[in-house]
Each structure stands twice: as C-alpha cells, then as structure tokens.
Structure 1
Amino acid sequence: MNDISSDGYAHSEIETEGEFAGWAYWPGDPYERRSGPFYRKREKNGEQVCAFRAEPRHMNGAGFMHGGCLLTFADFALFAIASDELGEDNAVTMNLSGDFLGAVPPGALVEARGEVTRGGGKTIFVRGLVTGNGKPALSFTGIIRRLAAR
C-alpha cells in the first residue's frame, strides 16, 4: 500500500489487489472499510470518482442495496469530491440528504461522482449522484465543516 497524500488525498493508501487495484482508500476509517470497502480515484479530467462492488451483505430484505449503505457511500463520496478543497484538513459532515432514485442489485458496480458547489471557507457544499451499473440510484447533497487544527 502506497501513500498518495501528494495527490490531494490526506493519508490515503492505494489498493494493491483485486478489482480496485490502483484505487485509493482511507485506511484510518474502520467503519467505511467494513461498510464497503469504498474506493476513489482521480480521472484524467480531474474529476473524483468513487466506487465499490455491491455484495450480498449490502442488501436489504427485499434483495436490493440497503438505503443506509447508499447514504454511507454518499458520505464517503462527499469527502473524496471535496478533497481538493480540504487538502490536509480534517472535517465533519454537517448535513447529508439524499433522494433514492432506483434500486441497486447484488453484483452491481456502484459509483459516485459530483462537484463542490461552494467552497473556499470553513463550510463546503457538495452535490453528487450515485449510480448502480450506470443507472441513477441516489442523488445527494451535503455540507462539510472544516475543523480547526488542534
């Protein structure tokens, strides 16, 4: 695992095996590692893309992805999308809201993309879209609050 903090990802490591070899993840967040694991990378156009593979453990009783899993992934994506704004700073989620647009089946490639709609200060606003196999599953907006250094 290689540190890639020079690419704007504070304290990230690179996955070295499997489908997401070459993608970054945050090793210091055990909840996200257990929930996903969730990955991210910067595309050639500079956009951040986040992804994971839908497994049976991510599903609800109806056999589709649990809404809580989609929102947890959206929360992860907030910070990846805002990583250039955040730099090395720590931050917390102040608000996360989403609209469920479609079901995600087991085995789907789940991706999130988005944009910072306002940044530059202590409060960063983000919006994005989560897809399952390319079909819209969740639109989300979030507000991140930069924390003061301790």
Structure 2
Amino acid sequence: MNTSVSESEEWKTVKFDGFMETIGPVLRQKRENGSNRYGLRVDSRHLNTLGVVHGGVIIGLLDQVLANEAWAVADRQPLVTIQLDTRFIKAAHAGDFLTCEANVRRGTRSLVFVDADLLSEQGDLVATATSIMKIVKKEIANG
C-alpha cells in the first residue's frame, strides 16, 4: 500500500460540498495530457457489513467524477444525471487508494455522454460506469 500517494504524485484535494464531503476527501491529479484523475483513500467508514467498500460509495464517487468532467465540457453549466449505469467488477477494501478517470464521449447542446473506470491501487478494475448528463438552466438548478 502506498501511503504517500497524495504527496508523491501531486494530488490536490477537491472541494465538493454536500454528500461528497461525507465520503472524501476526494483528490485530483492533472495529467500531462490535460485530463484529470480523481482519487479516494477508502477506510473502515466506507465499508458495508461484508467488510468491503459499499457500492454506494463507489457509485457516489463515479457519479461525481462523471459530472465534474461533463461540467467542464459543458462550459460549467449546471448538469443533472439522467442515466447512470454501473458495473461492479471487483471488491475494494479498507486502505485501498481508488482512482477514477472519465472520458467524455459526446456532448450536445443539452446532453453529455461520459464513461469512467474506477481502479484499485494495484491497477485492478473495480467498477465502470456510463452516464448521460443533462444540461439544465441555472434557474432550474437553483430551485
């Protein structure tokens, strides 16, 4: 287990409000190619009763990363998830440093199509997700 990932690879804490604060801190690393990689060190508070990382934590992280990357290509307009398909491949455990990268497949005036993979520190595929994000008017997003 690499306990100094955040220092050695220039990871920076991302400030997410609300729900994501409860599972974070979420970290972000800017890649040389301009893409972002996100990371989360999971611990005992992230586990389910079987002793592995709860699926809700994995889905929450994937959804946030997908939305963040879609938001960037949508000129920072508010977005909502209208479809999220997640596939769980392998369990994650307390102490794992999970990394996630998203790839925007297509953007239109109102929708953004994006995929993401979630990997363990050892490079094992933990989960994948495909999402459709809808761009909404700021007045709607603010209630």
TM-score range, shorter chain: 0.7 to 0.9
Q: Please, which runs of 5 or more residues in structure 2 have no aligned partner?
A: none
Out of 40, 43, 63, the position equivalent to 1:52 is 40
Aligned position for 2:28: 40
Deviations 1:40-68 (A, max 9, x none): 23211111111110111001111111111
The one-letter code matched in structure 1 to 2:105 is T
Out of 132, 135, 138, the residue aligned to residue 146 of structure 1 is 135
CA distance in 1, matches of 2:129, 2:74: 19
Percent identity of equivalent pairs: 23
Unpaired segments ≥5 residues, structure 1:
1-17
**3-state SS, counterpart of residue 65 of structure 1:** coil
Structure 1 outlier segments of 4+, above 6 Å: none
> Partner letter of residue 19 of structure 1?
S
| Preserved contact between residue 52 and residue 111 of structure 1 (Cα < 8 Å) | yes
TM-score of the superposed pair, with normalisation by structure 2 = 0.83
Displacement after TM superposition at 1:89 (Å): 1.1
Question: Counterparts of 1:44 and 1:61 in 2: how far apart (Å)?
Answer: 39
| Cross-structure match for 1:80 | 68
Asked whether the 8 Å contact 1:81–1:113 carries over to 2, the reply is no
The size of the alignment, in residue pairs, is 132
Secondary structure, counterpart of 1:82 in structure 2: helix
CA offsets 1:88-145 (integer angstroms, 9 cap, x no match): 2111111111110001111111011121111132100101100121210001001111
Output the CA distance in 1 between the equivalents of 2:11 and 2:37. 13
Structure 2 Cα separation of the partners of residues 88 and 114 of structure 1 = 16
CA-atom RMSD in angstroms: 1.9
TM-score normalised by structure 1 residue count? 0.79
